[in-house]
Amino acid sequence: MTNPLLADWRTEFQLPPFAQISDADFAPAFDTAMAEGRAAYNAIADDPAPPNFVNTIEAMEQADAALDRVAGVFFNLSGSDSNPAREALQRELSPKLSAYSSEIVNNTTLFARIEDLWERRDALELSAEQARVLMLYRRMFLRAGAALEGQDAARMTSIKSRLATLGTQFTQNLLADERDWMMALDDLAGLPDFVIASARAAAEERGQDGHVITLSRSLIVPFLQFSDRRDLRERAYAAWVARGENGGATDNRAIAAEILALRAERAALLGYENFARYKLETEMAGSPDAVRDLLMQVWTPAREKAMADAARLEAMLRADGHDGPLEPWDWRYYAEKLRRAEHDIDEAALKPYLSLDAMITAAFDCANRLFGLEFRPLDVELYHPDARAWEVTRDGRHMAVFIGDYFARASKRSGAWCSTMRGQRKLGGEVRPIVVNICNFAKGSPALLSYDDARTLFHEFGHALHQILSDVTYGFIAGTSVARDFVELPSQLYEHWLEVPEVLSQHARHVETGAPMPQDLLDRLLAAQNFDQGFATVEYVASALVDLEFHDGPPPADPMQKQAEVLDALGMPRAIRMRHATPHFAHIFSGDGYSSGYYSYMWSEVMDADAFEAFREAGDPFDPTIAGKLERHVLSAGGSDEAEALYTAFRGRMPGVEALLKGRGLAA
C-alpha cells in the first residue's frame, strides 16, 4: 500500500489525511522524502548546464517538496499531540535531519553554483525578490559552514547533529516534567468556580477523582492568584519553577551547559567572537550592545515600579498575619487582591464575558474589518478532536486553511505558538497555506478565558495573519521567514485590537445571558491594562538578559551559577523570578530559534507600539489606508526585504523606545 504521507492528498484543500496516517508511516516517509531530496540536490549540483537562477535557486526551492510535506505534519503533531512513539521517532529523526542538512550545505559543487550566481548577480537581471532570495541562500550556506574545509567542516557537522539531539531531549524532558506532576486539592478555599471547574477537568483527564492542579500555565497561574492556602501555593509554585531541574533522567541543567558550549564552538569555527555576535549579525539589533542598551532602558524603570509594588504587597501579606517577607508564590495572590481593590476587577466576574468562542469571533471580525478576510467553519477530520478548522477567503478567493487547537492536555507541550503545515508560495503554481495556532487554555463547558488568555489568542492570530496574507513567489521568504526580532511585530501589534473599546463592547458578551460587558466593567478593565506591569516587565527582561549573557562571552561551565550572577548584578527583586529559568527555558534551548534572541519580543514591541499609533493618528483603529499599508509592507511581504526597510516603508521611519515605555506605563 502507498504510504499516505507520500500519496496525493485528495482531501478538501489538500489537507493531510489524518485518519489514514499512523505513527508507523512517518519513519519510512521521512526516509523516502530525504532520499528524493538528496537526489534532487545532487542533480542540481551535477547539472552540466551553466548555473542560472532557474536551474539552481528555483530548483533548490522545490527540492524538498516531499520532505516539507511530511515534516509539516509530523512536527506539528509532535508538539501538539505527542505520544511515546512520536517522541521516540523525534529523537531518532533529529540527528538524521541534521546530517541531511549538513550534507546539502557541505556539497561544494552546489555551493560553487551559488557563488557563481552571486559573482554574476548584476548581470543576471534578477527581480528584487530573486536578488533577495539569492543573497539569503548564499548567506544561509555560509553561516551553516559551507566555506569550511577538512576537520573544521566535519566538526561543524558533528556539532549541529549533537545540538539537534540535545534540543529534542531538552523539549521532551520538559514535557515529561509538566505531564507527570500534579497536586490533588483537598482545600478549594478562595478558588472561584472557573478554577474549580478547570481543576476538576484536569483530574478527569488524568483519571483522578476530585480536583488536581497541574503545571499547565492556564491552571497554575489562576491557582496562584486565588488559593487562600499559602502552603499549597508554595508547593505548586516550587514544582512549576523546578521543571527540568528535578534530577534524574529529565534534568536539563547539563544539557543546557553542553548546548552553550557547542554554540560557542560553532561560532568560533565561523570566525565569530562568540555566539551572540554570530546570531545577532542578521537580526535588526545587529549586536549584543544594541540589545543590552534596549533592555536596560526598560529594566531600570520597570525594577523601580516592581520594588514599589512589592512594598505594597508585603504590607498586605503582613496584614494577613504572616511575618516572613513577600515570596514569589505570594505575588500573584496579593496582586490579584490589590487589582480588585484598586480597579474593582474580579476575574471570576470578568471571565464569563470572555468565552473562547467569542474571542475567536472577535479576532476573525477584526481581520475582516482590517483586511477583508472571511472565515467559514470546515467539517473536516483533524489530528485531535479539540482542533477546529476554518477556510479563510477574501472576495471569494481561497486564502488559507486556519486550524485552531486551543485546549491544554497532557500530550501538548506548554506555551502557545503558530506554525504551518504548508507554507505559501507561487513558484510552480499558487500554493496557499495551512496555518495552525496552538494554545493551552483550560478546558471548560463553555471555555472561559482570562484577559491574558484573550491577549494570547490575539497574539498567535497575529502570527497567523502573517502567514495567511503572505504573497511572495518563493517559499524561502514566505510568511514569518523574517528576522527573529521582527517576527513578533505582527503578533504583538494584533494584541492592540483587543484593547479597542468597540471590539470588547461588541464581542465581550456574557456567555449565558448574551448581555454586553457593562460599560463600567469595560472602563475598569481598560484602565487596569498596565496593572502589575513592573512584575511582568521585570520577569521578562531578566530572562532576556540572562539569555544574552549566556551567549555574549565564553560559555559558562555552570549555567545556573551564571544565571544567579546575572540576576544578582541586576538587583533582581526577591519576590520575582525569571519568567523562564534555565532548565525550562525552551525558547533558547529547544532549538536555536530564540537563542540570543529572547529580547526579540521587546524589540518588536518598540515597533508594535509605534505601529498602532499610526491607527490612532488616523483617528480609526480600522483605518483602511493604514491597514492596506500594513498588509502591503509587512504582512504580505514576508522576508522580501530587510526588516528595517519594510517597517520604514510602512511607517516612514523607525521608532524609539518612548512609545513602548508609555504603552507599559513606565514612562517618566
Please count the CA atoms within 13 angstroms of the CA of 327 that sit on its side-chain side. Answer: 12
For residue 40, give the nearest of 65, 10, 18 by alpha carbon: 65
478 plus 399 within the same structural domain: yes
508 plus 614 within the same structural domain: no
551 plus 646 within the same structural domain: yes
143 and 270 Cβ atoms separated by less than 8 Å: yes
278 plus 189 within the same structural domain: no
Domain limit, last residue, from 491, 508, 529: 529
C-alpha cell at 652: 516612514
* H/E segment holding residue 183: strand 183-185
320 and 314 Cβ atoms separated by less than 8 Å: no
First to last CA, the chain: 68
Whether 200 is covered by a domain: the verdict is yes
Domain ranges, residue 509: 352-529
420 plus 466 within the same structural domain: yes
* H/E segment holding residue 417: strand 417-422
Whether 547 is covered by a domain: the verdict is yes
Whether 345 is covered by a domain: the verdict is no
Question: Backbone phi, then psi, for 571, in 5-degree steps?
Answer: 75, 45
Q: Which residues lie across from 402 on neighbouring strands?
A: 390, 435
* H/E segment holding residue 564: helix 559-570
394 plus 452 within the same structural domain: yes
d(Cα 167, Cα 113) in Å, to the nearest integer? 32
For the question of whether the overall pTM of this predicted structure is more than 0.85, the answer is yes
* H helices, E strands: number in the chain: 27, 7
Which residue spans within 243-366 are E strands per DSSP? none
The two most distant CA atoms of the chain are separated, in Å, by: 83
65 plus 141 within the same structural domain: yes
For residue 37, give the nearest of 61, 58, 3 by alpha carbon: 61
Domain limit, last residue, from 480, 502, 529: 529
Q: How many CB atoms lie within 10 A of CB 89?
A: 18
Whether 335 is covered by a domain: the verdict is no
528 and 341 Cβ atoms separated by less than 8 Å: no
Question: Backbone phi, then psi, for 558, in 5-degree steps?
Answer: -125, 95
Whether 493 is covered by a domain: the verdict is yes
Q: What residues are annotated to the active site? A: 460
Q: What is the pLDDT of residue 277?
A: 98
Whether 379 is covered by a domain: the verdict is yes
286 plus 312 within the same structural domain: yes
460 plus 385 within the same structural domain: yes
d(Cα 456, Cα 446) in Å, to the nearest integer? 18
Q: What is the pLDDT of residue 668?
A: 76
Provide the sign of the torsion angle of the four alpha carbons 332, 227, 222, 612, taken in this order: negative
Cα 39–Cα 45–Cα 51 angle in degrees, nearest 5: 135
Q: Which amino acid is at 238?
A: A
- Domain holding 85: CATH number? 1.10.1370.40
375 plus 499 within the same structural domain: yes
369 plus 510 within the same structural domain: yes
Domain limit, last residue, from 529, 561, 577: 529
Say whether 240 sits in a helix, a strand or coil: helix
Average pLDDT along the chain, 668 residues, taken 10 residues at a time: 92 96 97 98 98 98 97 96 96 96 96 98 97 98 96 97 97 94 96 93 93 94 96 97 96 98 98 98 96 97 97 97 95 96 89 96 98 98 97 98 96 94 97 98 91 96 98 98 96 96 95 94 91 96 98 97 98 97 96 94 94 96 98 98 97 92 88
Q: Which amino acid is at 108?
A: T
Strands 211-213, 183-185: pairing is antiparallel
Whether 334 is covered by a domain: the verdict is no
Q: Which amino acid is at 489?
A: L
Whether 235 is covered by a domain: the verdict is yes
Buried b (16+ CB within 10 A) or exposed e, 366-392: bbebbbebebeebebebbeebbbbbbb
For residue 656, give the nearest of 599, 605, 591, 592 by alpha carbon: 605
- Domain holding 649: CATH number? 1.10.1370.10
277 plus 419 within the same structural domain: no
Would you call 150 exposed, middle or buried from its count of C-beta atoms within 10 A (0-12, 13-18, 19+)? exposed
Q: What's the structural domain count of the chain?
A: 4
For residue 292, give the nearest of 596, 653, 666 by alpha carbon: 596
Say whether 154 sits in a helix, a strand or coil: helix
